[in-house]
Chains A and B, each alone.
Chain A
Amino acid sequence: MRDGLKTERNGKGMIELTNVSKIYGSMVKAVDNLNLVIPDGEIFGFLGPNGAGKTTTIKMITGVLNPNSGTIRVNGKDIQREPLEVKKQIGYVPDNPNIFLRLKGIEYLNFMADMYDVSTDERKERVESLAKRFGMADVLNDRIQSYSHGMRQKIIIMGVLVHNPSVWILDEPMTGLDPRSSFMLKEMMREHADSGNTVFFSTHILDVAEKLCDRVAIINKGQILFCGTLEEMREHFKKNASLENIFLELTESEE
């Protein structure tokens, strides 16, 4: 399923942000001249305090927000110039799972599958296996309105996986998931990255980031404070310090 996407990369990262800025209204500079390269084949964690600009950055990569300046390329394609091409490759789990509440779970999955042009056979197979893995088979016929927070999160994740995108972009995906589902999601993220795809996710759970990520970026007030592998980070700071200590130190010194 990993089509030829990987061959196109020419040593370039799967996601490249160059001098990207976003200003809300005319005052708040939520993302400030940001440069970031997210390579494929790795799990990339995006950390930062509340209001740092994580969601804003993610929304610009997925085409939800238009940047005020700068360019964003996914797999070499500019989101502004070829939006549909880029969007097709991305699977996005937003931070707010309360969408399409009046649709049934299965209707939502079918909607997403149709929007991403998934064939009947593929979707049947995927819906079936995903429903089993996430324990959602019994509730697919219910309205999403009746789901708990975690179930809503799961149906959104299933909606992404049903079209099998090469780039996963997840905004705080573990929020509300039970231990089993969260474990399984992490496993799937690992699998996905290991087969050469890109996984980019934001989180506040530093344990998860420490265990799962190959590379992390820490953002505060719209600017990247650090970007690199975990080893680089430990070298850069005191050896053996936990990610938590580094995070606290980094984001505090900014105040």
Chain B
Amino acid sequence: MKNKTLLLAKTLIKNGEGIGLKGSTAFAKAVVILVFLIIIPMFMSGIAFVVAALLGMLRQIGQEGIILTWGLAINSAVVFIFGIFYIISTFYFSSDIELLLPLPLKPRQIIGAKFIVVAVYEYLTTAVVFVPMWLTYGIKMGSGLLYYVYGLIIFLLIPFVPLTAASILIMLIMRFFNLSRHKDTVKVVGGMLGIFIGLGINVVVQNVTTGMSQEQVMELIQKGNNSLIGLAAGIFPTTRWGAEALVFHAQLSGFISFLLYTGFSILFYYALLWLGELIYLRGVIGLSEAGSRRNRTKQVQLEKTAVKGSVIRTYTLVELKLLFRTPIYFINCVMINFLYPVFFLFPLLVQNEEVSIIQELSKALNKPGTEGMILAGSFALALFLGGTNATTATAISREGQELFVKKYLPVSYRQQLTAKLLSGFILGLVAIIMMVLFAVIVFNLEWWLGLIILATAWLPILYTSLTGLLIDLYNPKLDWDNEQKAVKQNVNVVYNMLAGILPAGLTIAFIGFAFNLVWAIIVLVGFYGLLSFILAKLLYTIGVKRFCMLEG
């Protein structure tokens, strides 16, 4: 039985979602390899560096173990959030389900296999944070062999508890609400709901565990010997045992913690299988029917709806509608713009009241004479937000087999590209507006500085929208059968991330020069204005030609 589960998991991984490099050019492959060989190791060594520095400080008060709790807690939270979306799409909306259901498989085998698939994908993310933290701690503290053995097993078990929590949450939602008729809405709302429930639980747990007075905390700190470990465990209390097992690996108490950690992780997994056996099928059957509300009574009001609009406006609106209505596009291109502040809020919620990051940051943001730096920082942030937004970098790819429609419309390619550019630009603006609002409200950023940022930082957004569209015009991924492949497995998104992040690095380096505000405005606006102007010229000449040559 177990073998069948593993066999199925293997098949699903092989058959499924690679990073989709098969059809790409040598250049595309080279860039991806570059990312894996250079950027990720760079990121990992950055983490190692920070961990090493923190260890030095925490060691003096005998609290170095808290680093491991933090690491595990952050990893668990990330697994949970990504897990919600992964689970919804692999458990309920993946195209292989219709093929699997008729096979002689038990629900728990399907669930188990899909769980393993998701867990394997999660390892790719968790390794980036966990491995440098784990190794740095081990080396710095001179830990013994057992530390590394425990660590490896703990690493493999990291996704189990948060992913089970996510799965159970989703399975309950799918089972007890009849959602089959609103397939698209479910994918999105389900995901949001999951995250908010998760955040809610987190806040409650935080309040319970940290409902201590300042004296009590001070007392704990003074005790030393890693007495703080339990305090930072976050949503998932099991992470505490994971950290304790690593810190006290040489003692019996470490072994007990290790047993507790592994035991609970495996217990959770079996609980999931048991629950899946009971409720999975009821939730999944019928979901494949595309849902529609038939309002026979509600006829179209032609007076209101059939009104002429301009070509660009209508085209842009349709692009946006498709982005909002296709769950995978919504999650990757739209929602992310609204969620950035939430991601920034998340660590703040986890904070103890005693150490207020908010106050520290407000102070830093309101120091006189730093306005130029703040503007440069906002440009870098805008480049990052714009670069990670997949809208224009997949604008052509998303057309897929429907591209031919755009070829017979009597609308010039110039106008079509403008509309595609606009849709990405508008979504990028949302991100920057959200960030500025957030900075003004939470960090007390001066409102006039906020306005200056809004008035200028649309330029980097325009720049990343242009680079995305140009990249996608040159290397569109049109041959897909599943929308997921158009955005999730599209290297153009990675290219555009680089196109945003590299100049963001430059702009941050430029902060070092500490220009005053006026000079910062002149230099930044001049530079990104010129860059965007050149790219727009390119788009309207060779970009249009390229679009003309593409055949659906």
Do A and B form a real pair? Answer: yes
Report whether A142 and B408 are in contact in the complex, using a CB–CB cutoff of 8 Å. Answer: no
A59 to B521, CA, bound (A): 51
* Candidates B302, B321, B401; contact of A107 at CB < 8 Å: B321
Is A102 part of the contact surface with B, judged by Cβ < 8 Å? yes
Given contact pairs A116-B410, A146-B292, A110 touches B314 in the complex (Cβ within 8 A): yes
Report whether B298 and A114 are in contact in the complex, using a CB–CB cutoff of 8 Å. Answer: no
Is A150 part of the contact surface with B, judged by Cβ < 8 Å? no
* Candidates A64, A106, A113; contact of B308 at CB < 8 Å: A113
Is B309 part of the contact surface with A, judged by Cβ < 8 Å? yes
Given contact pairs A140-B300, A141-B299, A123 touches B407 in the complex (Cβ within 8 A): no
Is A149 part of the contact surface with B, judged by Cβ < 8 Å? no
Report whether A94 and B404 are in contact in the complex, using a CB–CB cutoff of 8 Å. Answer: yes
Q: Tell me the B299-335 residues at the A interface (CB within 8 Å).
A: 299-300, 302-303, 305-311, 314-315, 318, 321-322, 325-326
Is B294 part of the contact surface with A, judged by Cβ < 8 Å? yes
A109 to B302, CA, bound (A): 11
Closest B residue to A162 by CB, please name it. Answer: B306
Set of chain A residues within 8 Å of B306, measured between Cβ atoms: 106, 109-110, 113, 120, 123-124, 127
Q: How many residues of B contact A (CB 8 A)?
A: 41
Q: Tell me the A64-92 residues at the B interface (CB within 8 Å).
A: 64-66, 84, 87-88, 90, 92
Is A207 part of the contact surface with B, judged by Cβ < 8 Å? no
Is B549 part of the contact surface with A, judged by Cβ < 8 Å? yes
Closest A residue to B552 by CB, please name it. Answer: A64
Is A137 part of the contact surface with B, judged by Cβ < 8 Å? yes
Set of chain A residues within 8 Å of B551, measured between Cβ atoms: 64-66
Report whether B411 and A115 are in contact in the complex, using a CB–CB cutoff of 8 Å. Answer: yes
Q: How far is the CB of B181 from chain A (nearest CB, A)?
A: 10
Closest A residue to B416 by CB, please name it. Answer: A115
Set of chain B residues within 8 Å of A110, measured between Cβ atoms: 305-307, 309, 314
Report whether B308 and A118 are in contact in the complex, using a CB–CB cutoff of 8 Å. Answer: yes
Report whether A102 and B321 are in contact in the complex, using a CB–CB cutoff of 8 Å. Answer: yes
Report whether A128 and B321 are in contact in the complex, using a CB–CB cutoff of 8 Å. Answer: no
Report whether B408 and A64 are in contact in the complex, using a CB–CB cutoff of 8 Å. Answer: yes
Q: How far is the CB of B187 from chain A (nearest CB, A)?
A: 13
Set of chain A residues within 8 Å of B298, measured between Cβ atoms: 141
Report whether A143 and B292 are in contact in the complex, using a CB–CB cutoff of 8 Å. Answer: yes
A119 to B296, CA, bound (A): 28
Q: How far is the CB of B330 from chain A (nearest CB, A)?
A: 11
Q: How far is the CB of A22 from chain B (nearest CB, A)?
A: 10
* Candidates B290, B314, B549; contact of A146 at CB < 8 Å: B290
Is B291 part of the contact surface with A, judged by Cβ < 8 Å? yes
Set of chain A residues within 8 Å of B305, measured between Cβ atoms: 106, 110
Set of chain A residues within 8 Å of B314, measured between Cβ atoms: 110-111, 114-115
Set of chain A residues within 8 Å of B291, measured between Cβ atoms: 146
Closest B residue to A123 by CB, please name it. Answer: B306
Set of chain A residues within 8 Å of B325, measured between Cβ atoms: 102
Report whether A138 and B410 are in contact in the complex, using a CB–CB cutoff of 8 Å. Answer: no
A143 to B324, CA, bound (A): 14
Is A99 part of the contact surface with B, judged by Cβ < 8 Å? yes
Given contact pairs A64-B552, A128-B302, A141-B295, A114 touches B412 in the complex (Cβ within 8 A): no
Closest B residue to A108 by CB, please name it. Answer: B318
Is A103 part of the contact surface with B, judged by Cβ < 8 Å? yes
Report whether A111 and B308 are in contact in the complex, using a CB–CB cutoff of 8 Å. Answer: no
Is B293 part of the contact surface with A, judged by Cβ < 8 Å? yes
Is A100 part of the contact surface with B, judged by Cβ < 8 Å? yes
Is B212 part of the contact surface with A, judged by Cβ < 8 Å? no
Set of chain B residues within 8 Å of A143, measured between Cβ atoms: 292
Given contact pairs A113-B308, A115-B410, A141-B299, A99 touches B293 in the complex (Cβ within 8 A): no
Set of chain A residues within 8 Å of B296, measured between Cβ atoms: 138
Is A145 part of the contact surface with B, judged by Cβ < 8 Å? yes
Given contact pairs A64-B551, A84-B410, A114 touches B309 in the complex (Cβ within 8 A): yes
Given contact pairs A103-B321, A106-B300, A64 touches B407 in the complex (Cβ within 8 A): yes
* Candidates A59, A88, A123; contact of B404 at CB < 8 Å: A59
Is A63 part of the contact surface with B, judged by Cβ < 8 Å? yes
Report whether B410 and A87 are in contact in the complex, using a CB–CB cutoff of 8 Å. Answer: yes
Set of chain A residues within 8 Å of B404, measured between Cβ atoms: 59, 64, 94
Q: How far is the CB of A172 from chain B (nearest CB, A)?
A: 15
Given contact pairs A88-B410, A102-B326, A124 touches B302 in the complex (Cβ within 8 A): yes
Is A166 part of the contact surface with B, judged by Cβ < 8 Å? no
Is B98 part of the contact surface with A, judged by Cβ < 8 Å? no
* Candidates B401, B410, B549; contact of A66 at CB < 8 Å: B549
Q: How far is the CB of A168 from chain B (nearest CB, A)?
A: 13
Q: How far is the CB of B476 from chain A (nearest CB, A)?
A: 16
Report whether B402 and A100 are in contact in the complex, using a CB–CB cutoff of 8 Å. Answer: yes
Q: Tell me the B411-428 residues at the A interface (CB within 8 Å).
A: 411-412
Report whether A63 and B311 are in contact in the complex, using a CB–CB cutoff of 8 Å. Answer: no
Report whether A120 and B307 are in contact in the complex, using a CB–CB cutoff of 8 Å. Answer: yes
Is B1 part of the contact surface with A, judged by Cβ < 8 Å? no
Is A62 part of the contact surface with B, judged by Cβ < 8 Å? yes
* Candidates B293, B307, B326; contact of A142 at CB < 8 Å: B293
* Candidates A114, A124, A145; contact of B292 at CB < 8 Å: A145
Is B409 part of the contact surface with A, judged by Cβ < 8 Å? yes
Is B38 part of the contact surface with A, judged by Cβ < 8 Å? no
Closest A residue to B293 by CB, please name it. Answer: A142
Nearest 5 CB-CB pairings of A with B: A146-B292, A87-B410, A114-B314, A88-B410, A64-B407
A sample of 14 inter-chain contacts (CB < 8 A) reads: A63-B408, A64-B408, A66-B551, A84-B410, A84-B412, A99-B402, A106-B306, A111-B314, A111-B318, A113-B306, A117-B311, A120-B307, A127-B302, A143-B292
A interface residue numbers (CB < 8 A to B):
59, 62-66, 84, 87-88, 90, 92, 94, 96, 99-100, 102-103, 106-107, 109-111, 113-120, 123-124, 127-128, 137-143, 145-146
